Amino acid sequence: MEKIPSYFYVGSKEIRTRVHKEYEGYKISQIEDIQRWIENTNQAVVNEHLIATFVINEQAELLISDRHSEHVMCAGGQAVLSAGEITFSFEKEKIVVSEISNQSTGYCPKPSSWEIVEIVLNKLEIEHPNAFTSAFEFRYCVVCETKNLVKEEVYECIVCGSDLDLEWNIHKMKPN
């Protein structure tokens, strides 16, 4: 297997300064860890669903934290192999992943980062979709130096109107 690319943090510097080890995400080594995390952090399961922030760290481990937390905090400030939101559903006494995305404006992972997410979820033996249920494309505008979320395959900067690269180019941004 070829080396899976890492994504460095490209979000707000103010958020990055608030990263502390004690806020790092909860490592999920087995399905039972999800239930422990829910109980230990008093998460609210609504209508048999729970949405969380997730990252796959560079050790190919799943870390989760409260949905309202930043990915960089979940990752302890480190680079990641993927990041996004994950929805756990509770079906007949079992936990499954019902929805998952690469929605992280702090790391802007490619939709192809699904490959490592799937490997990690398979290792955990948790039922999951066969791809991101919502996959986002991010691009960096080299003209005005802003990050863009591509919508409806329109590769145009929302700030200055310049054409955006067709290929993922977030690596051109300076790490924060």
Q: pLDDT of 8-61, one tens digit each?
A: 999 999 888 888 766 789 999 999 999 999 999 999 999 999 999 999 999 999
Secondary structure string (H, E, C) spanning 67-117 = CCCCHHHHCCCCCEEEEEEEEEEEECCEEEEEEEECCCCCCCCCHHHHHHH
The whole-number pLDDT of residue 2 equals 59
**Over the stretch 127-145, which tens digit does the pLDDT of each residue have?**
999 999 999 999 999 999 9
Question: Which pTM was predicted?
Answer: 0.93
The tokens 């109107």 sit on which residue? 161
- Does residue 173 contact residue 12 with C-beta atoms inside 8 Å? no
Whether 75 and 83 have beta carbons less than 8 Å apart is answered as yes
